[in-house]
Structure 1
Amino acid sequence: MHDSTVARAPRNTTLAVDGFLARYRGATRALYAGDLRIYQAWCDSHGLDVLEVRRPDLERFREHLEDDRHNAPRSVRRRLQTIRSFYRLAVADELIDRDPTVLLRMPANRVEKTPSWLDRWETQRLLQYAERESPAHHALIAVMVMLGMRVSAVCAIRVEDFAEDRSGYRVLTSIGKGGKRSVKPIPVPLVRIIDAAIAGRTSGPLILRRDGRGQDRNGAYAWVKILCRKAGLPDNIHPHSLRRTAITAIIDNGGTLAQAQTFADHADPRTTQGYYSRGETLDAHAAHIAARLFAA
């Protein structure tokens, strides 16, 4: 197995896993490979062949994720969705004749009632504290709020990913969710922050930890939480909050939904709309437009 997903798996299981992972690249592939490793290890420990499990076996695996691994409902749901996609493809590839995930109970998909995000002044305060901490901290926060990138994608950025296009723009080429290639222009304020983090290097990760190794998503999460605490910002802010912050700021300041969708690399505008946090406010009420038009 190229991803070491199955250590002692039968040939058909290896074929099924390889065929499933071949559909993905980068961070998405690594995430799904990790989900399947956990599932394969559980099957091995219970003497089960991955391609012969039944729905009751999967119910036990769900309980294992909840009770033994203490995964949050959102993580349990995501892992089970990976397994569901794996089995659906195995059926399509005629490696199995039935899908054991049919009627599998999934944890409730709880929507965040009060989405976490920062306003303009809070974001500037976070950037100030990040700059005081280190160039790497500053670059991490700045790229997330100015380019709206997911934390895993930011941690995957390498110095070699930056280039200059024919019009003179500094651009970043990255691979996002689902292996989607994205080319983003780097605004001048962000160029200065990125150059400070690169510090003359010609290769390697953009975001470095103090030990010289590249930062990962867990470490980046910790950085954000620590910086928010130092800056006196809400304790529910996390890396994805900064992506929501960026999209909300774009729309609030005159950007169209289509522009925000392109910025966020979303395939569906409804996804982008779901990231918009401010909602209706009295400041944005259409009555102000009517008053400006008709007032004497």
Structure 2
Amino acid sequence: MPTLVLTAGVEAQARYWEFFGATIRSRHTRRAYRRAIEDFLGFCADRGAENLVDLTPLHVGAWVEGLGRTHEPATVKARLAAVRSYGDWITASHIIPYNPAAPVRGPRHVVRRGNTPALSREDARRLVQAIDVSSVVGLRDRALVGVMLYALARVGAAVGLRVGDLERRERALWLRLREKGGRIHETPASRALEGWLLEYVEAAGIAEDRAGPLFRSTTGRSRSLTPRPLLARNAYDMIRRRTRDAGLDAEIGCHSLRATGITLFLDAGGALETAQALAGHASPRTTQLYDRRGDAIAVAEVERIVL
């Protein structure tokens, strides 16, 4: 626990743990917020603050200014949001008289184009074809790549699938994805993805374990699956390994497959609103951040500059 919280007394200490345990449901957000708040309180303690009541907007402003020299604006804004949220909590709990972060402005940050790289149609096909599906692990990896590529799923939602989340209706296989904030997003699988999923489920022998995880980890370097779910970081390592095996130089991660799927859908004439629905985005502006069709246009156009 940060020193400033310890010196603020038992009530402040209780409110500190309650802030993370009671107000934040996502463990990823909880971890990020705690890291930001600990960094801020440590910054203030190093500069003479002895208690939470000593904190002022100048402390917050100086901390934000320092972060801006070493971090991207989006990171600074996210960390300021964490401190501002914690300030609101302890103000409402009467630990401090006012929130010192409330009047502090973060850096200007306008995003018109996302940074996530995407694969071309040829490279995406090359990645899938390079996966050795002679073992159940290869079948698992191909199916997982397919869920992120065809179903436009986030890696967290993909590895969170259970066997029972595959449901056949309306002559198609549907996936029930658990997205951020506990939101359920259902989407149909394409014929290619359906084939990959069913082939993997049959080879893994998990069709009857409907409450069990769909994508499962392996024991060490063995080719056998465990009852435990595959973790998101393991899925990322798998994607990086499969990318290298396919001879692709791009820094492709799990989110790149989502961007690739959205770009290929739009390039094939799909509507932006449909891509938004398939990806489970709240706004079409978010979906547009994943559209990489303009990259090919830009590369072709600059070739007009001839010396």
> With structure 2 as the length reference, what TM-score do the two structures score?
0.71
Task: Could you list the structure 1 runs, at least 4 aligned residues long, displaced by more than 6 angstroms after superposition.
Answer: 47-52, 59-67, 70-73, 92-95, 107-114
Describe how 1:1-296 pairs up with structure 2 within 5 A. 10-21=13-24, 25=25, 29-39=26-36, 43=41, 53-55=55-57, 57-58=59-60, 75=75, 77-88=77-88, 97-101=97-101, 102-103=103-104, 105=106, 115-132=116-133, 134-165=138-169, 167-198=170-201, 199-201=204-206, 202=209, 203-211=211-219, 212=226, 213-279=228-294
2: CA distance, partners of 1:51 / 1:17 = 20
Cα distance change of structure 1 residues 39 and 278 upon mapping to structure 2, 3 Å threshold: closer
For the pair shown, the structure with the greater C-alpha radius of gyration is 2
Shift of 1:61: 6.6
2: CA distance, partners of 1:38 / 1:217 = 20
Cα distance change of structure 1 residues 280 and 208 upon mapping to structure 2, 3 Å threshold: closer
Cα distance change of structure 1 residues 122 and 175 upon mapping to structure 2, 3 Å threshold: same
1: CA distance, partners of 2:22 / 2:54 = 17
Q: What percentage of aligned pairs have identical amino acids?
A: 27
Cα distance change of structure 1 residues 18 and 279 upon mapping to structure 2, 3 Å threshold: same
Can you give the 5+ residue segments of structure 2 that lack an aligned partner in the other structure? 220-225, 298-307
SS in 2 for 1:134: helix
Question: Contact conserved, 1:153 with 1:176, CA < 8 A, in 2?
Answer: yes
> With structure 1 as the length reference, what TM-score do the two structures score?
0.73
Structure 2 letter corresponding to 1:83: V
2: CA distance, partners of 1:218 / 1:56 = 38
Question: Contact conserved, 1:77 with 1:109, CA < 8 A, in 2?
Answer: no
1: CA distance, partners of 2:110 / 2:183 = 25
Question: Contact conserved, 1:80 with 1:106, CA < 8 A, in 2?
Answer: no
Cα distance change of structure 1 residues 281 and 195 upon mapping to structure 2, 3 Å threshold: closer
- Taking only aligned residues, the RMSD between alpha carbons, in angstroms, comes to 3.9
- State how many pairs are aligned: 270
2: CA distance, partners of 1:266 / 1:94 = 38
1:230-288 per-position Cα deviation (integer Å, ceiling 9, x unaligned): 11113321111111111111111011011011011111111111211112866xxxxxx
1:187-234 per-position Cα deviation (integer Å, ceiling 9, x unaligned): 232122223333221142222222223222222222111111111113
